[in-house]
Structure 1
């Protein structure tokens, strides 16, 4: 039956059909793309870096030990192999000893038999005679070869050296260069050989040391992989990590596997402009951490985040081991599915119909039934059967055909079910992808080479102010306009040429400028290969308006801080000068009061000195260096009291609104400076309303949970909000930008220090300030100060009795510590006028010695800032030696010098004699319990 031509033809057709089906099913595939994500956590630790460094050192030591162990293992194996070979040689020669074969036959059989001794990585056994002729070698090129041209790297003969060593010591090891099998280069080889004097030959075997090195390299690779796995699991703080790179700036180990093996030497440190890798190496050489600015995964390209790295150089591998920590991700996923199943069923049906048609033409009438049945099947009736029941080839053919139809019906049903399932899955995946794209906080779109939009998510459509369905298929220029297209065209051309382009673009919308950061990514055909043609591009746009605003505010705050530092330094120097001027003018007026006409000159000079002191106080307020005494303040009551005074001094055309009675709002600040700040704001409002208007001072509690836009970002907390608003002329944009600069004023007779003082006081009180103003619409100044819990009201009991001017101090001994000679002279004279005997010291160290040496000191007056020992430390030492001594500390501005003694009194520069008397009187009071 197998040889029947009819059977063979039909059976071959069935096999072909089944083969086509199997091949089609085999090549069907569905690709998937999965996302990757990693996080970076911050705050690295030097201890962890040292531990990793020690671990690498141990790995290095382990590899050296492993190499020694491996070499010893190879030597042991060489001994074992050679013992087998020697045993074989002795076995063959034993036959000659028994007379079974001749000695020459035994020698030839033994040498030929050694060719079969192959093991390891192509290693073999060789034999040489005492004349250094190779007797046995697996390579015909060396068989019978003499040693004349076989030399080592130093030109010494290899084989004679082996012969001499073997005859002298019986056996031994030797390393020499030798050709690898089927190789053109020589490699170091370690051989073990043994003298067989009874047979007159030397037998040896060897292994290439490169195999040993390869084993060590394999162990090294395993150790590096173990280290890589350990470092990938290691986190320092929240996002910090460890990484390793070599001296060629190639990343060896990094938590991000995409970076491993790549060179990052072209990446620059934005702070120095030098390659970041070189800065890391320099830091390792110095043994100091490297601080630099870097971007974050959720803010790529914005190199504004501070990062710290500790780096150590491991010379054994020439590695640099570094820790990296951030001081303050977009997740993308995509799934692509395909379906190519429907054609399989069509191909099977066409093949079955064609083969059936050919069979009908080649067979006799009994096959017509099969042809009719095949026609029904071709028409789609997969339930049709021929009904032929015969025992010959036609019957077998009919039976096979009916079975094929049934199988085809089941296959089509299965394929239809799969197609329905895959179609539903594709629809669900497309819907899910559309929802994800619309939910991503970024604007995403796609363009073809002609500039037509192929897709866009909801945020991109909202960005251009269009409906999402409206923009798909339209030209980009028609959507964004010609003006925007003129800006975008050069970037689009660069991207279509194959370059990834990132740029910023600003445009007006709803009355404000929107700043965006856009990245154009080329889309390539032919599977996306680098050399594939660019068929379109993807657009990724982020709204960075808030980030730009924050950046501008930060720059402005830094500028004002620099101006404040300069102003504070100048004010401190002027305070010393004014102390001398005011003190000497007061002394002159007191001592020469009888000189006729002198007072007319001294009075204006004293007023000018006090005016200068007021200016320096305002400069110190702006520079945040004025001495403050923060305390809980009930602000609403304070404002109501202030309103009474303001209504009396302001024109009746100005209405004043303050918080109503019965309401309390508490904050922590210096009450005097807060009153001065509010009065300054009220006076500015009055001057801005020459024709009258309304001044409102509103107070409320404000809880900040998200970042607010003030002079700098507001940290989340509870604050007391003070809003001073007027209906005056307002600021121009130019004037508003410089409103808090010292000496800037819009008034003809203004000093330009009012708002500067307010700004400095607010910042020194850990608060925030914002000015909202438009020309002709008035101004609103908002202050945020730390909120305080209500405290019990105390009676105004600075009722501790202050000693009267010059009262009871005659004959007492005072110590004056001041590094400025003129200031010290003024202080000395005023104390002498008050009845004190005065001892002077030009430094804190000198004053400390005088405190130890002189008995009877009752008063210490010391400048805070002096060379050597500071005034605060001097006061602390004096208290330890003389607990009853009064202490008055003199300062031109607020600085951090540790804890000031609780009963020490601060006297601000410049001062007059009344200030000094009050300070001494307060210093006499007991310290609060």
Structure 2
């Protein structure tokens, strides 16, 4: 089938590369093949050469390392032989000293039998030992403790005082050896000494032993050179073994190993002209230095010496690079070197690269021929399809491609024909589709713009809420500090007024100060309301009834031109709020509405119920649920843009100077947020402003009838000599309150923090009660102190005072019996709180009973 395909292509050679696409396609394939071949060649061939070269180098290193290991083993064997020879000489020396000892004893005994004097006996002894020699000039000598040589074969030393005799190095010889032999005992000692009949010192090892019965030292020795001569034959055998081991080793083609010693003597070399010669005079042609010295310099460094040398076939032609690696055999003083020509290491890589090149060229030639045939086979239907597409682009939608093949090009031709047909069918509907999509796009764009505006508005509301929360925290902190200060001021002023009640001049100055203090207290209470920290007493109330009562309360204080109109969708709407504070909110809003209508008008108050699923049109996103909705509407000029953004900020007012404190709407805002509600400001389209309040709706329950309180009840509690614990960290506040308690008859003990108060509660069992701040230094709050006291003494009376609100801790027991007192307060307000604490304590005990 391949032959048929090729014959068909060749029979139509007139169309080969006729089309531009064919030429481009063929050129691209050929270019890719050439680039691929070049990349493979230039990437792989150098890499192969480098790897083969590195492999040959490693092989050379391995051969050298093996020979070095063999040499080290031979060195160990030679060293063992040398040690054994030295040990043999030592044994001989000991035997000679033992014989000398026998000879001395026998000679002295014989002299005694012959009735010789001791001097004659020792003289005969010394003369007899002088003639005793053995080995290679070894002999016996005798010396006394003063280093006098008593017997020696050399006449020069016989009878000499050797106490100052020094060797060639200037060191004392006999005194040193005599001293060591006397202190350390018999042993071997090495020192330089000359042979008999010679003047040059050589190293000698002697065995010296002290004989106390005769009071002299006997010694004999052997020269180190004599010991080494015995190992030279063994050394020659080692060199012969090494030569036999490496003479057959060939690195690459002609590389070899050779050995030389530290003096430059060539011990083993394949060239007979160099072996057994001193090669230190051989020069490196490149550097002019001794080639052996350069080899010694690189020994055991891991580096190789590269130098130029001649070939055996071209003597004195120093142009060929050689590579040598050198290892040093310590102990033998040998250098073992590998030597190989660099081009021999590279020859294997070059041969492999040439074969790869040949195979690549053959493959490239075959690929180019196949690419020529394949490009024509591929591009022919494409060019045909392009010609048809060109006519279709000019508007002729009746043409077909005419491609009939059982491959992907046939599928492409059928798909093209179907596409032209589909295009012809769809072109009539295109304008209508475009118009429809354009209209939908315009609507989507409008919805997107509305969504962006809504998102921007919600973001602004969130930023405003965060800003108001931050300002509220600051205001709450200031109000708390001012309440402590006002407690001190007001308490002292009231005490002074009571004490100097008959001093009219002083009273005229005290009464304005007291009124100013109370106004300051009112301002701090408004700040607390804004900061959501005012004390609240929430309860279930009917909102419609409260609105009616508030309108009835305020309508007489409004001008006759202002009318209040109420509308209730239901009178059964209830919420859990503080009724007095909600009443204050409504009064503030109605007064603001009245001020917005200087010419008079109608104030509308609408009450309804609303079920919110997703509300964002308030100060912050509304939690889904059911709410009570209160609208307060006026017919004034409405809010300006600045007023809309700044209305809830404390001390902001649109009224003229002195006409308003700027705390009305901020107080309303704080109360609503503290009651878990929401607020919204808006302008009505027909003029005027609308303020909308949302409060969580409670399921309706019938409220019990309220009992009237006896406003004329008197304070009949007797506190004389009662023990009261006062807990307050501020010294001045504590001083004022202490005076007030003492004025009621109490005995007062004080604590500055909760830890001290806790110790006093535990230590004093008969406390009447405790008056404590809620927040103070120490590990516990006022609520926790109260719980501890009531657990210990349930009948105790507890009053907690604070500059701002604290919710009752539901985890504590007896919370209902605790009375809360807001700072600042006067002595009468404190007396009232004490009476209430007595009543609450009594009611709690009755319930428990």
Q: Under a length normalisation based on structure 2, what TM-score does the superposition of the two structures give?
A: 0.51
The worse-fitting range, judged by mean Cα deviation, of 8-17 and 767-776 is: 8-17
Paired residues of 1:802 and 1:922 also in contact (CA < 8 A):
no
Alignment deviations for residues 550-596 of structure 1 (CA, whole Å, 9 cap, x no partner):
44334433433333233222222221222223223333333443445
SS of residue paired to 1:700: strand
Aligned partners of 2:508 and 2:727: how far apart in 1? 34
Classify the secondary structure of the residue corresponding to 2:768: strand
1:923 aligned to which of 813, 837, 840:
837
Residue matched to 1:418: 415
**Equivalent residue, structure 1, for 2:740:** 830
Following TM superposition, by how much is the alpha carbon of 1:22 offset from its aligned partner in structure 2, in angstroms? 14
Q: Deviations over 1:293-341 (max 9, x none)?
A: xxxxxxxxxxxxxxxxxxxxxxxxxxxxxxxxxxxxxxxxxxxxxx997
Q: Which runs of 5+ in 2 are unaligned?
A: 27-57, 67-241, 261-266, 271-290, 306-323, 335-341, 348-378, 391-397
What SS does the aligned partner of 2:549 have? helix
Question: 2:565 aligned with 1:657, yes or no?
Answer: yes
Whether 1:777 and 2:687 are equivalent positions in the alignment is: yes
Matched, 1:875 2:786: yes
Residue 581 of structure 1: aligned partner: 489
Change (3 A) 1:691 1:422: same
Question: Separation in 2 of the partners of 1:166 and 1:344?
Answer: 88
Matches within 5 A, 1:293-304: none
- Shift in Å, 1:688: 1.6
C-alpha deviation, 1:818, in angstroms: 1.6
In the other structure, the counterpart of 1:669 is 577
| 2:770–2:796 CA contact under 8 A, matched in 1 | yes
Q: What does 1:820-859 align with in structure 2 at a 5 Å threshold?
A: 820-859=730-769
2:805 is matched with which residue: 891, 894, 919?
A: 894
Any conservation in 2 of the 1:133–1:147 contact (CA below 8 Å)?
A: no
- 2:683 is paired with a residue of what secondary structure? strand
- Where 1:796 maps in the other structure, the secondary structure is coil
Instruction: Return the match for 1:612 from 513, 520, 532.
Output: 520
Distance in 1, Cα, partners of 2:527 & 2:724: 32
Q: Distance in 1 between matches of 2:626 and 2:571?
A: 18
Alignment counterpart, residue 626 of structure 1, candidates 511, 530, 534:
534
Equivalent of 2:384 in 344, 351, 355: 344
C-alpha separation in 1, matches of 2:611 and 2:796 = 47
The 1-side partners of 2:795 and 2:269 are apart by 108
Deviation, structure 1 residue 809: 2.6
Query: How many Å apart are 1:865 and its aligned residue?
Result: 2.5
**Aligned mates of 1:347, 1:813 — CA distance in 2:** 114
- 1:110-130, CA deviations, whole angstroms, 9 ceiling, x for partnerless residues? 747x89xxxxxxxxxx99566
Distance of aligned partners of 1:801 and 1:419 in 2 relative to their CA distance in 1, 3 Å threshold: same
Name the CA distance, whole Å, in 1 between partners of 2:400 and 2:457. 73
Query: What are the within-5 Å matches in structure 2 for residues 264-283 of structure 1?
Result: none
2:471 maps to 563
Residue 652 of structure 1 and its aligned partner are, at CA, apart by 4.5
The change in CA–CA distance for 1:686 and 1:8 in structure 2 (over 3 A counts) is closer
Q: Tell me the alpha carbon deviations over residues 8-44 of structure 1, each in whole angstroms, 9 at most, x when there is no partner.
A: 998734466699899879979xxxxxxxxxxxxxxxx
Secondary structure at the aligned position of 1:633 is classed as: strand
State the shift of 1:889 in Å: 0.6
Offset of residue 909 of structure 1 = 0.6
| Structure 1 residues 676 and 430, CA gap change in structure 2 (3 angstroms) | farther
The 3 A distance-change label for structure 1 pair 346 and 618 is closer
1:908, CA displacement in angstroms? 0.2
Query: Where in structure 1 are there 5+ consecutive unaligned residues?
Result: 29-77, 87-102, 116-125, 136-143, 169-177, 184-338, 351-378, 383-404, 440-454, 466-509, 517-541
Secondary structure in 1 matching 2:749: strand
| Residues 1:410 and 1:608: Cα distance change in structure 2 (over 3 Å) | closer
Give the structure 2 partner of residue 811 of structure 1: 721
CA distance in 2, matches of 1:638, 1:793: 13
- Partner of residue 821, structure 2: 907
Residue 756 in 1 paired to residue 666 in 2? yes
Superposition map of 1:15-414 within 5 A: 111=250, 159-161=325-327, 343-345=383-385
Q: CA deviation at 1:419?
A: 0.8
Aligned to 1:780, what secondary structure does the other structure show? strand
Q: CA deviation at 1:683?
A: 1.5
Q: In 1, Cα distance between the equivalents of 2:675 and 2:706?
A: 23
Please list, as runs of the form range in 1=range in 2, the aligned pairs for 1:359-758 lying within 5 A after superposition: 416-422=413-419, 459=441, 544-596=452-504, 599-660=507-568, 662-706=570-614, 708-748=616-656, 749-758=659-668
Distance 2:423 2:301 in 1: 69
Q: What's the CA shift string for 1:472-494, capped at 9, x where partnerless?
A: xxxxxxxxxxxxxxxxxxxxxxx
Partner of 1:186: none
Q: Deviations over 1:664-716 (max 9, x none)?
A: 22333323222211221111112222333222222334444435143234344
Cα distance in 1 for residues equivalent to 2:744 and 2:389: 123
Structure 2: distance between partners of 1:895 and 1:437: 66
Matched residue, 1:376: none
Rg larger in structure: 2
CA positional deviation for 1:862: 0.8
Q: Give, in angstroms, the shift of residue 774 of structure 1.
A: 7.1
Distance 1:727 1:773 in 2: 10
Q: Which residue of 2 aligns with 1:520?
A: none
Name the CA distance, whole Å, in 2 between partners of 1:425 and 1:106. Answer: 90
Q: 1:462: Cα distance to partner?
A: 7.1
Q: Secondary structure at the match of 1:884?
A: coil
Aligned Cα root-mean-square deviation (Å): 5.8
Question: Aligned in 2, Cα 1:728/1:380: closer, same or farther, shift over 3 Å?
Answer: closer
| Structure 2 residue matching 1:763: 3-state secondary structure | helix
Q: TM-score, normalised by structure 1?
A: 0.47
Residues 235-272 of structure 1, C-alpha deviations (whole Å, 9 max, x = no match): xxxxxxxxxxxxxxxxxxxxxxxxxxxxxxxxxxxxxx
Alpha-carbon displacement from aligned partner over 1:370-404 (angstroms, at most 9, x marks no partner): xxxxxxxxx9999xxxxxxxxxxxxxxxxxxxxxx
* Preserved CA contact (<8 Å) 2:258 2:268: yes
| Higher helix residue share | 2
The 8 Å contact of residues 811 and 837 in structure 1, kept in 2 or not, is answered as: yes
Match of 1:533 in 2: none
Looking at structure 1, the residues matched to 665 and 639 of structure 2 have their Cα atoms a distance apart, in angstroms, of: 13
SS at match of 1:658: strand
| Aligned CA distance change for structure 1 residues 545 and 596 (closer, same or farther; 3 Å) | closer
Indicate the SS of the match to 1:857.
coil
Structure 1: distance between partners of 2:346 and 2:819: 96
Secondary structure in 2 matching 1:794? coil
User: 2:264 aligns to what?
Assistant: none
